[in-house]
Amino acid sequence: MSDQPPSQGQGTDPEASRIRSLDDRFGAIEAEQQRQGTLLERIAGQLGGAEQRAHGAAQRHEERKLDAPTDVADEVRRQLEERDRAERARADQDQAAQSDQAWRAGVDTKLAELTEKPPEAPVRRVEKLLGWR
Is 111 a domain residue? no
| 44 and 76 assigned to the same domain | no
| 74 and 64 assigned to the same domain | no
Confidence bin at 2 (pLDDT 50/70/90) = very low
Q: Residue 43 belongs to what domain range?
A: 15-68
Q: Write down the pLDDT at residue 85.
A: 95
User: Is the confidence at residue 13, as pLDDT, over 80?
Assistant: no
| 82 and 53 assigned to the same domain | no
Q: How far apart are CA 129 and CA 21, in angstroms?
A: 106
Tally the domains of the chain. Answer: 2
Q: Write down the pLDDT at residue 74.
A: 82
Over the stretch 88-118, which tens digit does the pLDDT of each residue have?
A: 999 999 999 999 999 999 999 988 888 888 8
Q: Write down the pLDDT at residue 1.
A: 41
Q: Write down the pLDDT at residue 12.
A: 62
| 43 and 88 assigned to the same domain | no
| 20 and 58 assigned to the same domain | yes
| 19 and 62 assigned to the same domain | yes
Q: How far apart are CA 15 and CA 22, in angstroms?
A: 11
Tell me the Cα Rg of the chain.
46
Q: Which of 70, 82, 31 is nearest to 90 (CA)?
A: 82
| 32 and 75 assigned to the same domain | no
| 78 and 42 assigned to the same domain | no
| 51 and 89 assigned to the same domain | no
| 46 and 76 assigned to the same domain | no
| 25 and 63 assigned to the same domain | yes
| 78 and 47 assigned to the same domain | no
Over the stretch 21-72, which tens digit does the pLDDT of each residue have?
A: 888 888 899 999 999 999 988 888 777 766 677 788 888 888 887 777 677 8
Q: How far apart are CA 125 and CA 92, in angstroms?
A: 62
Q: Write down the pLDDT at residue 47.
A: 74
Q: Write down the pLDDT at residue 84.
A: 95
